[in-house]
Amino acid sequence: MNDLKKQAKFLKYILGSRPDEFGLVPDKERYVKIKDLLKAIHEEDGWRSFRQANINEMMVSLPNPPLEINENRIRAKDGQQIPKRVSPEHLPKLLFTCLRPNALHVILEKGILPMGRKHVVFSSDKKMAKRIGRRIHASPAFLTVSVENAIKQGTLFLQAGETLFLARSIPVGCFTAPPLPKEPKMVKHKEPPKLKERDKFPGSFFPDMTEQVETVEPKKLTRKQRREKDIAWKKSRKQTRRR
């Protein structure tokens, strides 16, 4: 029970006092998505194994839990100390944010967009911007925004804590981004050497009919041999007639 009380006290501080300290921006009803809360908590020492099951146990076991859940969102019952969204009196020259690397093509063409959310979250602290970025990608794309240029292009900023700022979008030309990742080179596979016609069927032998065959010329007969051959031929003919 003591562990549950400590956990509930810590969550009450995050959700009811300083969500910006953990890179969280509650909605207008002061709710934060449970999955976003868990990602922020896992960055704290000793809280890596904390799960939604712990929150559910807290809500059931504690007699008067300081939290309330609405579907996939959670908030502190007493959240009056949460920093309100206000128009900042003084803006830093630079703001930072991180996005998925595979979104760089769209960002460079259309500007920085919320990507499914109502606002883009920026920070004046590089470490905080990178901390928030690592929640969406292990190696996020780090972007630097020129606040002065963005304001000239009509961008309105809201402050949501000590170092957190919000904007609907940032136009092209008001920020710097890392270069696009190089596309992997296509490896050309070497074609196997072409087989000769007679090598196409392994284990078989095909004679090369194009090779020249040596011709044996008949030996020339002497005059005596020719005469003896003629006599033998005539005798054979006479015998055939007699038969």
pTM: 0.72
CA distance 165 to 183: 34
Cβ proximity of 163 and 94 under 8 Å: no
List the single range of 50-59, 76-85, 143-152, 154-163 with lowest mean pLDDT. 76-85
Cβ proximity of 161 and 118 under 8 Å: no
CA distance 233 to 25: 124
Domain boundaries, the chain: 2-76, 94-176
Same fold, 2-76 and 94-176: no
Tens digits of per-residue pLDDT, 136-148? 999 999 999 999 9
Question: Which of 38 and 199 is assigned the larger pLDDT?
Answer: 38
Fold assignment, 94-176: ADP-ribosylation fold (3.20.170)
CA distance 143 to 167: 14
In degrees rounded to 5, what are phi and psi of residue 68?
-145, 145
CA distance 58 to 49: 15
CATH number of 2-76: 1.10.10.970
CA distance 164 to 123: 5
CA distance 166 to 158: 5
Tens digits of per-residue pLDDT, 188-202? 666 666 655 555 555
Confidence of residue 213 (pLDDT cuts 50, 70, 90): very low
pLDDT of residue 62: 93
Beta carbons within 8 Å of 192's beta carbon, 6+ residues apart: none
Give CA 127 to chain center in angstroms: 23
